[in-house]
């Protein structure tokens, strides 16, 4: 097996890593069913990065397809509020030897769900603004996690398990506390407005951490009427809604007495159970609540994502060939210096 020059090998927690010499001080910071992540320092740029090594990406067609989807999505995402690739590499030079590849991404300080303590409204405003900016350009894919840096910069993470926003939006994704009601109830098609309620659920979570379940949301919005129930696809969802106590809609200004009037107005517009009545991320960003933050540079036109392979059936060798081609064709995207005047800080 021919290994590229200027690479070195290091065993970390029983896993062998083969990385370019410029990445030093590797330290494992996470592991899961599909891969391990190490922090590292890029000695050329002095930047701290996160490097992900997928666990045996070519052990089956399913694993290979998943690896290809993650690689393609990360290469496609080019926005400062969506995680993207700084680098991607494999230690080998030929397709015949190709067994592993590594994804290099910005290092993020902590997961948003781990942030503790009261968040001031200016922090909440800035985080939700970034969230909506990232959701706006994420095309038709659902994010997995949200991460923040110490300076309150937010990125949407984990598109490896992202699905086309259609009937596949079940199982793994519905377990997350910030999912849209239509995903939790498995009714109608997940649309662009489903992203909006993802953001507003997180906004509610940051304002009142107990707001983490569909029933709790309906205690605020009120239980929907028969027109909403008719839109539900499954008898179980209809029965669930019909069996709920008749919660009346609450006055948001009473629930959140320390929150600005503009924030209350945004909440009332976004926290709507019927996705047909809910604004998209793009429309939500036009709300006066974000007037002091809105910057045209944050709102580039979303570029179409080629999902022609998402439903393809191919052999393991074909998936491996596609991955190898994507790794070798990677070109770093020039990153824009942020013009945001941000003085906020975040503590876990």
d(CA 188, CA 274): 10
- Contact yes or no for 109/182 (Cβ under 8 A): no
Selected residue with higher pLDDT from 346 and 310:
310
Asked if pLDDT for residue 244 goes beyond 90, the answer is no
pTM of the model: 0.77
Selected residue with higher pLDDT from 249 and 193:
249
Our separate counts of H helices and E strands in the chain read 11, 10
The pLDDT of residue 68 is 93
Asked if pLDDT for residue 340 goes beyond 60, the answer is no
Selected residue with higher pLDDT from 287 and 310:
287
The pLDDT of residue 57 is 94
Question: Looking at residue 34, what DSSP letter applies?
Answer: S
pLDDT tens-digit series, residues 93-146: 999 999 999 999 999 888 777 775 667 889 889 988 998 998 888 755 555 578
Residue 295 binned pLDDT confidence (cut-offs 50, 70, 90)? very high
Q: Average pLDDT in the 20-26 region?
A: 97
Joined together, the tokens standing for residue 239 give 């029965």
The pLDDT of residue 342 is 61
The pLDDT of residue 190 is 42
d(CA 100, CA 226): 53
Q: Which domains does the chain have, with CATH numbers?
A: 7-109 (3.30.200.20), 110-286 (1.10.510.10)
Asked if pLDDT for residue 327 goes beyond 70, the answer is yes
Asked if pLDDT for residue 161 goes beyond 50, the answer is no
Q: Average pLDDT in the 233-259 region?
A: 83
The pLDDT of residue 170 is 32
The pLDDT of residue 246 is 81
The pLDDT of residue 176 is 43
C-alpha 168: how far from chain center: 17
Residues 5, 54, 46: CA angle, nearest 5 degrees = 55
Average pLDDT over the chain reads: 79
pLDDT tens-digit series, residues 302-322: 888 787 777 788 999 999 999
The pLDDT of residue 249 is 84
pLDDT tens-digit series, residues 169-226: 332 233 343 445 544 554 444 444 445 555 655 666 666 554 445 677 777 888 878 8
Which region holds residue 276: left if phi is over 0, alpha if psi is between -120 and 50, else beta? Answer: alpha
Q: Is 53 annotated as a binding residue?
A: yes
The pLDDT of residue 46 is 95
Residue 51 binned pLDDT confidence (cut-offs 50, 70, 90)? very high
Residues 64, 67, 71: CA angle, nearest 5 degrees = 140
Selected residue with higher pLDDT from 58 and 211:
58
Selected residue with higher pLDDT from 183 and 253:
253
Q: Average pLDDT in the 47-62 region?
A: 94
Joined together, the tokens standing for residue 292 give 């002091």
Asked if pLDDT for residue 83 goes beyond 50, the answer is yes
Q: Which of 5-19, 72-86, 216-230 is least confident? A: 216-230
């Amino acid at each position: 097996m021919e290994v590229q020059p200027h690479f070195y090998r290091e065993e970390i927690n029983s896993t062998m890593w083969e990385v370019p010499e410029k990445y030093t001080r590797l330290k494992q910071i996470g592991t899961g069913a599909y891969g391990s992540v190490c922090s590292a320092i890029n000695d050329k740029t002095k930047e701290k990065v996160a490097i992900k090594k997928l666990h045996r990406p070519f052990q089956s067609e399913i694993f290979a397809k998943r690896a290809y989807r993650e690689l393609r999505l990360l290469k496609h995402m080019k926005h400062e509020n969506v995680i993207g690739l700084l680098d991607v590499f494999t230690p080998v030079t030929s397709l015949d030897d190709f067994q592993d590849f590594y994804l290099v991404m910005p290092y993020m300080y902590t997961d948003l769900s781990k942030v503790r303590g009261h968040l001031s409204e200016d922090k909440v405003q800035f985080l939700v603004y970034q969230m909506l900016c990232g959701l706006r350009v994420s095309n038709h894919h659902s994010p997995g996690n949200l991460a923040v840096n110490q300076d309150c910069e937010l990125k949407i993470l984990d598109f490896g398990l992202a699905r086309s926003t259609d009937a596949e939006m079940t199982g793994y994704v519905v377990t997350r506390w910030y999912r849209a009601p239509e995903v939790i109830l498995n009714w109608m098609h997940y649309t662009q407005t489903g992203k909006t309620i993802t953001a507003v659920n997180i906004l509610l979570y940051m304002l009142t951490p107990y707001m983490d379940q569909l029933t709790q949301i309906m205690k605020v919005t009120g239980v929907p009427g028969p027109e909403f129930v008719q839109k539900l696809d499954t008898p179980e969802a209809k029965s669930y809604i019909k069996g709920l106590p008749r919660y009346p809609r609450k006055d948001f200004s009473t629930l959140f007495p320390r929150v600005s009037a503009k924030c209350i107005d945004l909440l009332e517009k976004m926290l709507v159970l019927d996705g047909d009545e809910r604004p998209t991320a793009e429309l939500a960003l036009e709300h006066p609540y974000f007037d002091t933050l809105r910057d045209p540079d944050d709102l580039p036109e979303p570029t179409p994502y080629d999902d022609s392979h998402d439903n393809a059936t191919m052999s393991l060798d074909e998936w491996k060939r596609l991955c190898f081609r994507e790794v070798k064709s990677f070109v770093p995207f020039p990153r824009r210096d942020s013009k945001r005047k941000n003085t906020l800080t975040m503590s876990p």
